[in-house]
A and B are shown apart, each in its own frame.
Chain A
Amino acid sequence: DVVLTQSPLSLPVTLGQPASISCRSSQSLVHSDGNTYLNWFQQRPGQSPRRLIYKVSKRDSGVPERFSGSGSGTDFTLKISSVEAEDVGVYYCMQGTHWPLYTFGQGTKLEIK
């Protein structure tokens, strides 16, 4: 089974400062079709998850440009260029390459210092 390991698990950030979350996979997430199916989700307190990024770096509609995704193979990163108060919540990576066995990372809690 594919295991996704996120770090850090807790991320205190000062408003206006950048933030970075790592997601490492136990197996390559490159699909036989050449694409890499790694997503990032945001879950604000008391809300449903919301997808921010799909296929490593593609932003979903309505997602602010301060969110960006990068990476390849087994190592991926979500970056927030300048953290705002509304970014507080838990961030999850998720792989779909090994469908139907989707996997989520354990989550990274972003809070404001």
Chain B
Amino acid sequence: EVQLVQSGAEVKKPGESLKISCQTSGYTFTNCWIGWVRQLPGKGLEWMGIIYPSDSEIRYNPSFQGQVTISADKSISTAYLQWHSLKVSDTAMYFCARIAARLVGFDYWGQGTLVTVSS
């Protein structure tokens, strides 16, 4: 059974750094892309970026380029989303999702990680 389990909710202050995780199981981690999707409070879904863990190829949504860093650790089948300096506007739910076929897009999703940034 394919599973994506994300790290728990975070409360941070503006300017702090953060790295959230997405641990996968039930399939070969290096055979599929993994993506990150943002959902602002009460809003829709925004694709942030994707990574191919086999060779760490990364594609960012231009809207998020330079704002976040996506990475993966093949040894533990885990993908990451990282901020170096959080802003209040980063407060959102973040989902990871598997992409079995890149053109078909996201099939399995994690449960989401709520990130709250407040002074």
A: which residues have CB within 8 A of B? 31, 35, 37, 39, 41, 43, 48-51, 54-55, 60, 90, 92, 94, 96-97, 99-107
B: which residues have CB within 8 A of A? 35, 37, 44-47, 50, 59, 61, 95, 97, 102-107, 109-112
Q: Which residue from chain B places its CB closest to the CB of A51 in the assembled complex?
A: B107
Q: Tell whether A96 pairs with B105 under 8 Å between CB atoms, given A103-B47, A107-B45.
A: yes
Q: Tell whether A104 pairs with B103 under 8 Å between CB atoms, given A48-B95, A48-B112, A50-B109.
A: no
Q: Which residue from chain A places its CB closest to the CB of B110 in the assembled complex?
A: A48
B44 in contact with A99 (CB, 8 Å): no
- Closest beta carbon of chain B to A50's beta carbon, Å: 7
Please report the C-alpha to C-alpha distance between residue A107 and residue B103 in the assembled complex, in whole angstroms: 20
Chain A at the B interface: mostly helix, strand, loop or mixed?
loop
A35 in contact with B103 (CB, 8 Å): yes
Chain B at the A interface: mostly helix, strand, loop or mixed?
strand
Q: Chain B residues near A100 (CB, 8 Å)? A: 50, 59, 102
Please report the C-alpha to C-alpha distance between residue A83 and residue B44 in the assembled complex, in whole angstroms: 22
Q: Chain A residues near B37 (CB, 8 Å)? A: 49
Q: Can you list the 10 inter-chain pairs with the closest CB atoms, starting with the nearest? A: A100-B59, A96-B105, A48-B109, A102-B47, A107-B44, A104-B45, A96-B103, A37-B103, A106-B44, A54-B104
- Closest beta carbon of chain B to A95's beta carbon, Å: 8
- Closest beta carbon of chain B to A57's beta carbon, Å: 13
